[in-house]
Amino acid sequence: MATLYKHQLEAIEFHQSHPKFLLALEQGLGKTAIACSTITPQDHTLIICPATLKLNWERELKLFSFPHNIVVIKKSSDVLPIIPSTVIINYELLGRKKNKVISPNFDFSPFNRVILDESHYIKNPTAIRSLIATKICINTDKVLLLTGTPLERHRDLYMQMRALGIITSTFHEFGLEYCGAHIVKKFNRTIWDYDSSTNAPKLKSLISPFIFRKLKSEVLDLPEKIIKIIDLDLPIEQKFIPQQITEENIPEYFSNMASYLREEGIKKINQAVQHIQMRLESIRKIFVVARHLEVIDALKIQLKEFKPVKLDGRDSIVQKQFAIDQFQNNSDIRVFIGQIQAAGVGITLTQASHVIIVEADWSYSALMQVIDRCHRIGQKNKVIAEILTIAKSLDSIMINTVLNKKQNIERIL
């Protein structure tokens, strides 16, 4: 078995006295290795993770756990093993909804240990995966939730707290106490709004005993991480510049936001390519991030002299791992182009210390996750992330807002 760091051993020791807890290590501190190391030969373990991470979990189990029967569930008709095994399944295969009734696809009762990777995936209290995964955790003796970004708002913690058995209240009751729940009008409808954060000290005291939280600055001597905004000189449409803007009121201003962001991404391609080419004159490898497939494909074509590999939602798990291995191990592969969702979790790209984000996300946690593909265990150089925006555009305004958005995590954790 591979050697663990001190903070990883501390987390395993914490688990011995906390059968159910949230492992909220900052991205890049080896949560998967810790989880694998908690499994004993007697355990019948269920690992629930995003579909793109199943192959990574299988690899990590072989590195950090004892020889064990590992079963990867690929479709709902597969059969779960009866003998003690480690079963890997993605959230989408947990169950289904038919005639308004949510039903699991398998009998999960024999498992005595559950590991929920990227547990913020269950933050939506009405989603099928949230409801089934939470029920599985409630009925299991040993539960480990893994996330590097436990919340951006108080509401994001509700289902994770339910899964750990910390609370039993309804979401509305939780919202009234911790989310400043109030009635608002949106799109000519009257609805409850749960996006505020209230009673932070009380919520912190409630959840703190069940969280093992460490930051990189506390446990590793990692190089510095620097984030820069690069404003591109491109034309913008004036109608997309409101006087006051927040993430909450964007839908009220723009009904065609998706098409606007796509157009802005395509508009940036040529200048983005020039910027990447300029950086590659002095930098050996670069991780390039985009959102839209048209942008990813155009970047791959225009950067072909640098032998780029790419990862987006069209790729299989095998294709994904091949791209990662090529970038990490082949010196001729100088560019990794990743779609922000598909490449934002569960991969390591420490051969690059420079990240260029052509199309960013307006979620602080999503931004940090994708940058931390490079800023993690194994990185030896200072990590510089450059976010390309169009000067004075809506995107530029929102990115500057997002980069100041981490007070909720710090206040609770």
Please check whether residues 157 and 299 belong to one and the same domain: no
* Domain end residue (candidates: 219, 240, 274): 219
| pLDDT tens-digit readout, 78-104 | 999 988 899 999 999 999 998 889 999
| pLDDT tens-digit readout, 367-408 | 888 999 999 888 888 898 999 988 878 788 888 877 776 655
| pLDDT tens-digit readout, 251-276 | 555 556 777 888 889 999 999 999 99
2-6, 169-173, 375-379: lowest mean pLDDT where?
2-6
Domain span including residue 361: 225-412
Total domains present in the chain? 2
Please check whether residues 265 and 345 belong to one and the same domain: yes
Please check whether residues 139 and 178 belong to one and the same domain: yes
Within a domain: 297: yes
Please check whether residues 158 and 229 belong to one and the same domain: no
Q: What is the mean pLDDT of residues 113-129?
A: 93
Please check whether residues 132 and 236 belong to one and the same domain: no
Q: What is the mean pLDDT of residues 153-180?
A: 95
> Residue 57 sits in a domain of what CATH number?
3.40.50.10810
Please check whether residues 185 and 242 belong to one and the same domain: no
pLDDT above 90 as % of the chain? 58
Distance CA 300, CA 106 (A): 41
pLDDT of residue 30 exceeding 70: yes
- pLDDT class for 175, splitting at 50, 70, 90? very high
With residue 389 as reference, give the H or E element that holds it. strand 383-390
Within a domain: 247: yes
| pLDDT tens-digit readout, 194-207 | 989 899 999 999 99
pLDDT of residue 218: 83
Please check whether residues 296 and 201 belong to one and the same domain: no
Within a domain: 136: yes
Terminus-to-terminus CA distance in the chain, angstroms?
31
pLDDT of residue 412: 55
Q: What are phi and psi of 382, to 5 degrees?
A: -60, 135
Please check whether residues 154 and 262 belong to one and the same domain: no
Please check whether residues 204 and 264 belong to one and the same domain: no
Q: Is 0.85 topped by the overall pTM? A: no
Name the CA radius of gyration of the chain, rounded: 22
- Residue 349's closest CA among 293, 300, 309? 309
Please check whether residues 251 and 144 belong to one and the same domain: no
17-21, 190-194, 316-320, 398-402: lowest mean pLDDT where?
398-402
Helices assigned H by DSSP within 39-97: 54-64
pLDDT of residue 10: 94
Within a domain: 170: yes
pLDDT of residue 1 exceeding 70: no
- pLDDT class for 238, splitting at 50, 70, 90? low
* Domain end residue (candidates: 219, 237, 271): 219
* Domain end residue (candidates: 219, 245, 273): 219
Please check whether residues 127 and 236 belong to one and the same domain: no
Please check whether residues 108 and 149 belong to one and the same domain: yes
